Amino acid sequence: MRRFLLPMTVLLISVACGDSSDDSSGSSLTVVTSTSPPIVEDTVPAETTTTVAPVDPDLVLAEFGSADSLNAWYVQNDTVMGGVSSSELSWSEGELVFSGNLSTDNNGGFTSMRGPEMSSSPAPGLDAVSVVALGDGRTYLMQIRTATDSYIQRFTPTETMSETILKLTDFVATDWRLSPIPDRPPLMSEAVRQTSIYLVDKQVGEFVLRLRSISFVAK
């Protein structure tokens, strides 16, 4: 299978917790001070995990080979709606480290890491997103935003560095509460505009997710 990795600046992150006054397309968050309603969990198809395979450097969507590769990334936590969860991004030995503490106090319960809006469209006809990561036993949520919709899929990285394949056909269109929206078009690679990773598993306590790369995959 071929891997299509785009420049880091093309990775887009959508907002699962936008203000309830937003329209159906939502709006990209560029500040951490906006007001956001709480996130509600929903069931999403399971993912497939495989061992790490070599990545074609010309096909990378986002890889974290240097500290500079984190420049366009930022975090947003439930503090925007009164919660007290915390998180941060750091770089260590070619990996982005997303870590912090999840709390459900004050009706909170989410943290997220987000990338920049894409300046160009990905190639059409790609089948899946590949995430090379080392997890902590917790289940994370990838959210992808198009110009009109937001799609999610959950994944549980293994506790050794490995590749998780998230098929585009398994992403589910949702509203700002992460509740499924019926009759939406399937997620297509060329429609991707922003991507984010959330922790919303309601398990209070510390977490650590280490990411080596994120890419599109074509069979």
In three-state secondary structure terms, 98 is: strand
* Alpha-carbon dihedral sign for residues 122, 117, 115, 168: negative
CATH number of 2-218: 2.60.120.430
Overall pTM surpassing 0.85 (yes/no): no
At CA 14, angle to CA 129 and CA 162, rounded to 5? 30
Per-residue model confidence (pLDDT) at position 69: 73
Domain positions in the chain: 2-218
79/69 Cα distance (integer angstroms): 26
DSSP 118: P
CA gap 168, 212 in Å, rounded: 20
Please list the pLDDT of the chain residue by residue as tens digits (219 residues). Answer: 655 554 443 333 333 444 444 444 443 333 333 334 444 444 444 454 444 444 444 345 677 777 777 778 899 999 999 999 999 999 998 899 999 999 999 999 999 999 888 777 788 888 999 999 999 999 999 999 999 999 999 999 999 999 999 999 999 999 988 899 999 999 999 999 888 999 999 999 999 999 998 888 886
Please check whether residue 12 is in contact with residue 27, taking contact to mean a CB–CB distance below 8 angstroms. no
